[in-house]
Amino acid sequence: MDIVRKLMSGFRLDLGPVKEPLGFIRVLEWLFTIFAFATTGGYTGFTTIATACVDPASNVTAKFGYPFRLMSHPFNIPNCNTSLPSNTSYLMGDFSSSAEFFVCVGVFSFLYCTFTLVLYLGYQHVYRETSRGPIIDLVVTGAFAFLWLVSSSAWAKGLNDVKSATSPETLIDYCHPRCTIKTHPAMGRLNASVIFGFLNLILWAGNCWFIYKETPFHKPVQPPPNVEEGGPSS
């Protein structure tokens, strides 16, 4: 309770940093990290093919979703010989590592943005009290920029593999003759997640410059000592 009381007593709300690039970009990072992991986590989709050898024609639907361990999603293909049971097949591929890594980076980025926004808006006097705060902020922000580069690139490759493994053209290979494509999976949400990932890379990398200006490493250029404000003396 004493720690909470001390934190609350030191809280001084100041919306000024939001009007500056340092705070404004952090707000954008907070929003775009939510968009990035929200469009990936919880995704579910399906692809459908039709088997014309069954009368009436039967649809085969293969469902899949996050974290994209496709081999854990079975689907049944009716046998053209109705006296035989349907065949159970599985989607091929495990792309969970890239998807979970991408979501993990997004969640931790969101938590760090929340923490730093509270620090900027309520404890700006603590943040600027010493040079340690801006330096740590710069290092962590640079690390997250690198993580967004790696995770977005990995997830872009993983998403391309997911599209290939779940396309109806691939499922037809599992099917008996006389199968036709009915519906393709909706991938717009996942495409948006990759875009948000690279937008986060731009935001976090760009914000490093504004945090760098808060550190002692960035020093204003000093005029030569022999030059006065009114110009050189005659």
Please write the tens of the pLDDT for every residue from 5-52. 544 556 677 777 788 888 899 999 999 999 999 999 989 988 888 877
DSSP 224: P
Q: C-alpha angle 63/66/70, rounded to 5°?
A: 55
Tokens 């500056």 — which residue?
20
| Distance of alpha carbon 78 from alpha carbon 82, whole angstroms | 8
Q: Which of 54, 110, 136, 42 is nearest to 87 (CA)?
A: 54
Angle between helices 96-122 and 188-212 (to 10 degrees): 40
Taken as a whole, the chain contains a residue count of 234
Q: Which of 25, 43, 28, 34 is nearest to 191 (CA)?
A: 43
| Distance of alpha carbon 126 from alpha carbon 195, whole angstroms | 35
Higher-pLDDT residue of 104, 181: 104
84-128 confidence digits (pLDDT tens): 566 777 888 899 999 999 999 999 999 999 999 998 888 887 777
